[in-house]
Amino acid sequence: MKDDPALQSLREAAWRRSLTAAEHAQIQRLLATSPDAAEDWQLDARLSRTLARLPEAPVPSNFTARVLQAVERETAAPTRVPFDWLLLRRWLPRLALACVLIGVSVAGLHRYELLSRQRMADSVAVISPLGTLPSPDSLADFDAIRRLGSEPPADVELLALLQ
């Protein structure tokens, strides 16, 4: 029933005034196609008749003055800006200081890395002109050569006894 715009417009017309004969005929045609809509229409019609029998609510004598005061209050109330500028004023210097500190730290770290790389390159440049290392073939007998110089000292007492 809510999907049919013709039936909805007739329902709204029935809320405000009595329907004409042509409108009643149109409603009967629309309600013949949908039994659920017919039940809703009858319930709505009974509700409209009951509300029409109610007495009009008395309007207070100061109704107009109260409405005008409410309008004045609405227009006089300052519109609140959704953004809190006081909060921004308080945190902006701190935020700027934090950004400066982070920037200086990143720049210092970058400079440190550049200097350490430069030192490493300089140390490699010092070592590179020294020449090449001996071949592995010459180092094959290194253990025997090393043992030659590491003989234990002569036993002086034993030599003295042998003489």
| Whole-number Å distance between alpha carbons of 23 and 124 | 102
Into how many domains does the chain fold? Answer: 1
Q: At 30, is the pLDDT very low, low, confident or very high (cuts 50, 70, 90)?
A: confident
Distance of CA 55 to the CA centre of its chain: 56
- Residues 63-119 have pLDDT tens digits of 889 999 998 888 876 666 667 777 778 888 999 999 999 999 999 999 999 999 999
Distance of alpha carbon 97 from alpha carbon 37, whole angstroms: 69
Neighbouring residues of 40: CB distance < 8 A, sequence distance ≥ 6: 1
21, part of any domain: yes
Domain membership of residue 28 as a residue range: 1-54
Report if residue 25 sits inside a domain: yes
CA 82 – CA 85 distance, rounded (Å): 9
Give the span between the Cα atoms of 38 and 98, in whole angstroms: 70
Indicate whether 161 pLDDT > 80: yes
Contact (CB, 8 A) for 84 and 51: no
Query: Which DSSP string do the residues of 40-61 spell out, in sequence order?
Result: HHHHHHHHHHHHHHSPPPPPPT
**pLDDT-derived band of residue 1, with 50, 70 and 90 as boundaries?**
very low
Residue 140, pLDDT above cutoff 60:
yes
Highest mean pLDDT (candidates 1-5, 24-28, 149-153): 24-28
Is 100 inside any structural domain?
Answer: no
Between CA 60 and CA 48 the distance in angstroms is: 25
Contact between 40 and 75 (Cβ < 8 Å):
no
- How do residues 3-23 score in pLDDT, each as one tens digit? 678 888 888 888 888 888 888
16 in a structural domain: yes
Tokens 């809190």 found at: 84
pLDDT digits (tens, 9 = 90+) for 35-72: 788 888 888 888 888 888 888 888 888 888 999 999 88
Give a yes or no: residue 49 inside a domain. yes
Q: Bigger pLDDT: 94 or 131?
A: 94
The pLDDT of residue 123 is: 87
145 in a structural domain: no
pTM, rounded to two decimals: 0.35
Residue 27: CB atoms within 10 Å: 21
Q: What kind and span of H or E run contains 81?
A: none
Q: Is the pLDDT of residue 131 over 70?
A: no
More confident position, 142 or 79: 142
Within a domain: residue 102?
A: no
For residue 13, being part of any structural domain is answered with yes
